[in-house]
Structure formats: structure tokens, C-alpha cells
Structure 1
């Protein structure tokens, strides 16, 4: 075989030597990235929680004004059953699993964006049996030469033959304007937004679980009180009947007490329904079937409520660091800003370095021999000239989307402070109500004891004792309801403050 004038290695070396300065210059230019750089906004925050308060100043609890330190976590409630339910929810909740999978998908998309930074390598191979047309474009050269053996040449060229090809190609886009870097930056921000969404779903699931748990315990305490009241009412009815049989009172008192006992019994079905609904909501959050956790959710033997922790919302300036919705909105703003750079980079030329090497042979005998080799190396330029303002329109669209994300971020921060103020006001109002209801229960109990003694000594009629008993029972129910509401208000306040700085065990 005749030696070629230029070998593959010498030609490629010569090309690199001639184009080396140009490639070096392009690499230096590739250090810049077009489009705006993202600067994380600093969310506004008051000096203290009382500075941004809507409504009456009477709802500004001193405990809130002077609060600092570490915010509440779910373990602060000191309830072992609640802690166990929280742990199970993090492992079994379907919504949380969905959010974890979406976070994992965002991580994969980030790796896909990063893959564009390096070269792309492909290998190919083909074997085909083919025939060329006798009247196709390949016959033009023969017609131009007008040889005497034209038909013989055409017959030889159009005869079926085997074609074998194999090789590989490589390409690498020089990121002159930072298109790939901005795309990676956007993918990073989207992954951060997905991670914040995962934390947001976790907080929502935990808050809903805690709220339903305290609703369940409140219904169970109301049931315990109702059953005790029914038993006491039946006992009182027996005593009134005995006094009526002895002529010490009238049948009117008997009927009044019987109506009171019936009213107490009528409260049971509604309380039982509330208990069942709260229990089902808990099992749904834990991915269990209805009734699967009856033993674990059974009422405590003593019927007492868990002691509520002291309020500690922490510092207002740290709220943005804890609330996952604010972190998510900021990450979405970051992603929208980065996409502007991707769109702007598409307005400029793209330079791609390419190379390929392979073998091609008609027939299998010479396939793979050095003479059957073919190769090419060099840059390619893609220069946008006219596209009907499509690329320019994409830039404008990305800028508008970035402005929309900025407005959404501001709205998220504003909404967060409204939620915090609402939760603080609700908690402070319930604390004040709870104190008054506790005093009402004490006074009602003293009034009932006095009315009972006076009735037993014949100093008053039974209606006075009955009214005092009704007032006491209602005060007890209100007190139990207030304890439950205080717990649920603390749950909503913990959610509004973004939860405590606890580790997130839910990882994809």
C-alpha cells in the first residue's frame, strides 16, 4: 500500500499547533457567564414579634414579646405516644414519600445538566448490503466523461455490494458564554427548591398529625368526663326518686333530673364520632388501615392531659432560615434568574470541537486495514442569524418569569408573617380564655356544692341545684376543650414558625 503524505497523528498535531492559540483564547473567553448573577434577598423581619402585630394590644402576650432562644420542637410536648407516631409518619406517610422521590428526581436532573460540561463520546458500527441506481446522481460524472464503455461502468457501479463501517466520534461544546454553567446553576437551585418542598411536606404532615392527635385526646377526655357525669347523673336521679317516694320532693324534680341524664347520654354519640374521625385521620397519615392502631391510640388510663411546654418562638430574624416555604421561594427565584443566563447565551455563537475516527470498506476483506481508515477533526460554529425573534422572545419570557418569582417570594414572606401573627394571637387569646375558664370551673364547683347542701337541708328547691350542676358540667367541658385548643394552637404556632431546627430523617 502506498504511504500517505500525512499520517493521522502528524495531521492532527499540525492542526492543534496551528489552532492552539485560538483554542486557548476561546478557553479564556469561556470563563465568563452572561445573564444576571443571583443575589439572595434578605427577607424583612421585625425587631420583635410585637412590632408587626394586627389587632388589639391585649393579645400581645409578655411571653411572646420577650421570647427568644430555641423554638419549640415536637419532642417538647413530652408525649411518648406522639413521638412514636411522628417517627412512624416520617417513614410511612405517602405524601412524604412522594416529596422524597421528587427531590431524588431533581438530583438526577442536576447530574444530567452537569453532564453537558464534559465531552460527548459515541461509537457506531454498521454493515449493509446496498445497490446504487443506474440512473441516479452518481451517473452524472460518467455522462460528463462520456467513456466508450459507459454501460459497462454503470453496470459495475450499480452492482450490489457489502459496505462495512465502524468508528467513534467525540464532541465538546466550549462554554463561551456560560450557558452550561447557568443551566447547572438553575438545576442546583431547583434541587434546593425540591429539598425545601420535602421539608415543607414533612412539616405539614407532622403538624397535621399533632393536631389530629390532640383532637383525639380532647375527645377522649370529653368522653371520660361525659361518662362520669352520666354515672353521677344516674346516681342523682336515684336519690331524687327515693326522696320523691318518701314525700320529700315532687315528681317534677324527678323529671327534671331524668331530662338532665338523657341530655348527658345524648352527648356520647357525637363524642364517639369525633374520637373515631381523629383516629382515622391519624392512621391515614401513617399509611395504615382504619382501626389498625386502636391499642396505641387508646385513651390514657388516668385520663390526664400532657403538660404543655412553655412558648419559645425564637428570634424573628431566624424565621426565614426555618420556614421551608420561604427557602423554596428563594430557590425558585434563584433558578428563574439562572435561566435568564441560559436564554441570553443562546443569542451568541456556539463553538463545538469535534473529532471522529473509523473504518469503512466495501467488502469484509479490507475492513479494519489501515488503508480503510477515515477521520476528521476540527471546530464547528453555530451562529444564529435569523429566527423570527424566537431567541430574543425567550430572553424576555425568562425575565418575566424571574419577576414573577420575585413577586412570589415577597408574597411568601408577607404571608409567613401574617400566619405567625395569627398563630401568636390565637395562642395568646386561648391562654387568657383558659385562665378565665379555670376560674369559672372553680366558682361553679363551689356554687354546686353550696346548692347541693342547701337542697339536702331543704333550704332550696331542686331547680337551683340542677342549674348549678349544669353550669359546673359545662365549665368542665369548656376547660377540657380549652386545654385541647391550647395544644392545637401551639401546634399551629410551631408550624407557622417553620418548626424547630431538628434533623430531617426523610431522605430519598
Structure 2
């Protein structure tokens, strides 16, 4: 029995990805897969782990040195000395090195957080690109069916002598145009799927379709939540951490201005003395000319430059987020207007023109014009949705992943201001 169950269980496990792929990829699964398998994100993770070695290295004390000297080459008159020396660092050099290495590690952690936000936002954007591309394919397929049925209806009326053969030519041109648009939309869908697979770090051709609602508009958070996200955004935190790193570098250069002491202890044996003599040595550089003043001045100015750059980064980030929020509001208004007024009106006009043509009240040119208006409205609707999701992903890319509290408190778009 066990020999039978084990192969069956293994077959079920192997077939699991295929069944999931057939069901369609969800947004949550796409994001989690990208955060786990994206190669660039893995590289940043290795860089963060490598910084632990830098901290460990910065905390090590200098190695002692062993010296052996011999005066004269003749055995009877040769004096032999052996000394063990150890450099003692003064001025807090070791602690300053460790502090600088820790700030470097903090920067690497923020670089990883920034890259995670970028991968997450890019995955969400690519997911909705695929979702909207799927809808465009369905619209193009429906348009082809409508054009085909219209061409058939015109052909029957031409054969009956009710309309001019020119109408049949127009209908065939419209059908060919719809077929070309279907092929283009299918190519766009394949390209969107490839982009999604690439950012997820998955194997090619492993995703056939995605599941979700293309009509879902990204919600905007309240102004207070946006301000909070701005303060803890990875880009702004990194700019501020760069100031702390510059401060740590300045403190290290200051500590290097304090000379170190080298202490040595050893023994010397001379034939004329007839015994081993102890040796004790202490050496310290005299900071007469080089007090590391140039490096200190350089580190000080770099700290001031980092402070100015942090301030500029905050202003730039706030301005870009505000601009993206304004554009997202405009897209939300456009989607709402298209969904509420334009699409229903264009659909009603097309249906009326089609029925009128079947009853002989309208020409086929009127049907084509109404159909073109309806399809253009649907294309504009999907374009506005795509731009809205791109803007939302761009905001998340700049501010980092929103927390649960930020997602749980969406407000009308007119109130969303950082």
C-alpha cells in the first residue's frame, strides 16, 4: 500500500504547479514569487550579508609583529635579539571603524528595501498590464465577431439588392481591420506576460494567464498616511542614513589624527655579556606635520554635502509623489466618467445603429461609425485603467510598500494629498 501511495503523492506534487498555472496567477502569488525569486533582489540580499563581514573585520585589533635581528655573522661576536611588538590604537579608532561599517550595513539594508519596493511595484504594474492586455484581447475578439456578423449581414443585403456593393467592401475592410487588431492585442499580451515572468524570476512560458479584476481602481490613502509613508520611505531613509554614514566617516578621520603607540617586549643575548637581557620598547609617531587634517576637512565637507542631498531628496520625493497623486486623481475621474456616461452611451448608440441597419433605416457607414466610437471608448477606458495602475505602482515604488493601516483607510481621491 505504501509503495502505491508514495508515487501517487509525488505525482500530485509534481502536477501542482501545472494545475495552478491552469487556474491563473493571482496578484498575491505574483508578488510573493517575485520577492522570493527575483535575481536582482537576491543580489542585494547577498550584498547585505557581505556587510556583516565588514563589521567583523572592522572590530579586529591589529596583529602583533615578531622581529628577529642578528648583529655580526660570526658566532663568537654575534648579538641576537627577538622582539614581539603590538600596536595599541588610541583615539577610538576601532570603535569608529565599527560604527562606519554598521552605517554601511544600514545603507545596504535600505538599498535592499528600496529594491524590494521597486520589485513589488514593478510586479504589480506588470500584473495589471497582463490583466488589461487580456481584456483587450477579449475586446478585439468580440470586435472581430461583430465585424464578421456585420459583413455577413451586408453581404446578404447586397445579394438581395437592398444596399450597394460598396457597403460590402467597407464591411470586409472593417473585418480585416478587426482581425489585425486582434493579432496585435495577442502580441501585446505575450509581451506583457514575458515582462511579468522576467520580474518574477520565473521560467519562460510558465504563466498562461492571470486572474483578477481589470476594472479595479487603485485606492488612494489619506493625506496623513501618505505623509507617514513619505517619512519612512526607503529612498528618504537612505538619504538620511547617508548623513549618518558621513558623520561616522568624519569621526573615523578625527580618530586617525591621534597617533598610535607600539609596545614591544623581547630578549637579547650578547656573547660578551654571557646572559640573556630583556628588551622593552615603546614607539609613538610625532604628529608634527601630518595630523590627518586634510582627510578630516574632506570628511567634514562630505557630511555637509550629504545633509544637503538629504534635504533635496525629501523635496524631490514629495514633489514627485504629489504630481503622481494629482495624475492618479485625473485618471480616476476619467475612468469614472467613461464607466458612468461614455461607455453606456456608446454601447446604446451602437446597438441602435445596428438594429436600425437591420431594419433598413440606417446605412452601414452609420453602423461602422457607431462601432468605432464604442471601441474607441473602450480602448480609452482600458488606457486610463492602465495609466492609473502605473501611477499607483510608481507611488509605491517611491514610498515603499504600504502597510495594512495605509491600505485599510482609503479615502476619496480628492482628499488624497501628501
SS at match of 1:315: helix
Distance 2:137 2:227 in 1: 43
Candidates 199, 202, 209, aligned match of 2:123: 209
Q: CA deviation at 1:498?
A: 2.3
Q: Are the aligned partners of 1:194 and 1:328 in contact in 2 as well (CA < 8 Å)?
A: no
Residue 220 of structure 2 is aligned to residue 307 of structure 1: no
Other-structure match for 1:181: 95
Q: 1:463 to 1:361 in 2, by over 3 A?
A: farther
Corresponding position of 2:384: 482
| TM-score normalised per structure 2 | 0.80
5+ residue gaps in structure 1?
Answer: 1-78, 134-153, 363-370, 503-508
Q: Distance in 2 between matches of 1:168 and 1:500?
A: 59
Aligned counterpart, 1:39: none
Shift in Å at residue 81 of structure 1? 1.8
2:149 maps to what in 1? 235
Distance 1:235 1:360 in 2: 112
CA distance 1:221–1:281, change in 2 (3 Å): same
For residues 185-204 of structure 1, the aligned pairs below 5 Å read 185-204=99-118
Q: Does 1:394 align with 2:303?
A: no
Partner Cα separation in structure 1 for residue 152 and residue 171 of structure 2: 9
Q: Classify 1:125/1:391 alpha carbon distance in 2 versus 1 (closer, same or farther; 3 Å).
A: closer
**Range 177-186 or range 454-463, more displaced:** 177-186
User: 1:297 and 1:262, CA in 2 relative to 1: closer, same or farther beyond 3 A?
Assistant: same
Q: Which residue of 256, 266, 283 maps to 1:346?
A: 256
Larger Cα-atom Rg: 1
Match of 2:228 in 1: 318
Describe the shift of the 1:98–1:375 C-alpha distance in structure 2 as closer, same or farther (beyond 3 A): farther
Task: Name 2:318's counterpart in structure 1.
Answer: 417
* Residue 178 of structure 2 is aligned to residue 264 of structure 1: yes
Distance 1:360 1:412, change over 3 A: farther
- SS class of match (1:254): helix
Gaps of 5+ in 2: 1-23, 405-418
Say whether the 8 Å CA contact 1:357–1:373 is kept in structure 2.
no
Cα drift, residue 329 of structure 1: 1.0
1:91 is the counterpart of 2:36: yes
Distance 2:75 2:100 in 1: 60
1:215 shift after superposition: 1.1
The farther-off stretch of 106-115 and 190-199 is: 106-115
Check whether the contact 2:39–2:201 (CA below 8 A) recurs between aligned residues: yes
TM alignment of 1:485-500, pairs within 5 A: 485-500=387-402
> Tell me, what secondary structure is at the counterpart of 1:354?
strand
1:473 aligns with 2:375: yes
CA-CA distance at 1:353 after TM superposition? 6.0
Please say if 1:101 is aligned against 2:46: yes
CA–CA separation in structure 1 for the residues paired with 2:210 and 2:202: 19
Q: Partner of 1:382 in structure 2?
A: 285
Contact 2:64 2:85 (C-alpha < 8 Å) held by counterparts: yes
Question: Is 1:276 the counterpart of 2:190 in the alignment?
Answer: yes
Shift in Å, 1:391: 2.1
Comparing 197-206 with 276-285, which one deviates more in the overlay?
A: 276-285
Q: Where has structure 1 moved over 6 Å in runs of 4 or more? A: 358-362, 371-374
1:403 to 297, 304, 315: 304
Q: What's the CA shift string for 1:230-252, capped at 9, x where partnerless?
A: 01211111111111111222212
**CA distance, structure 1, for counterparts of residue 353 and residue 210 of structure 2:** 33
From 452, 457, 460, the equivalent of 2:362 is: 460
Distance in 1 of aligned mates of 2:287 and 2:327? 60
Q: Is the 8 A contact 2:321 2:395 kept in 1?
A: yes
- Cα distance, 1:230–1:500 mapped onto 2, change above 3 Å: same
Q: Distance in 2 between matches of 1:251 and 1:471?
A: 24
How many residue pairs get matched? Answer: 377
Match of 1:33 in 2: none
- CA distance in 2 between counterparts of 1:373 and 1:298 reads 86
1:92, 1:311 → 2: CA distance?
29
Question: Residue deviations 1:308-344, cap 9 Å, x none?
Answer: 4532255344234421111111111111122222223
Q: Is structure 2 residue 197 aligned with structure 1 residue 286?
A: no
Decide whether aligned partners of structure 1 residues 272 and 457 sit closer, same or farther in structure 2, where only a CA change above 3 A counts. closer
Distance 1:109 1:306, change over 3 A: farther
When the two chains are superposed, the root-mean-square deviation of aligned CA atoms in Å is 3.2
Q: Please report the TM-score for the alignment, with normalisation by the length of structure 1.
A: 0.67
Structure 2: how far apart are the matches of 1:373 and 1:490?
Answer: 81
1:96 Cα offset (Å): 1.0
1:95-134 alignment runs, 5 A limit: 95-116=40-61, 120=62, 122=64, 132=72
Corresponding position of 2:26: 81
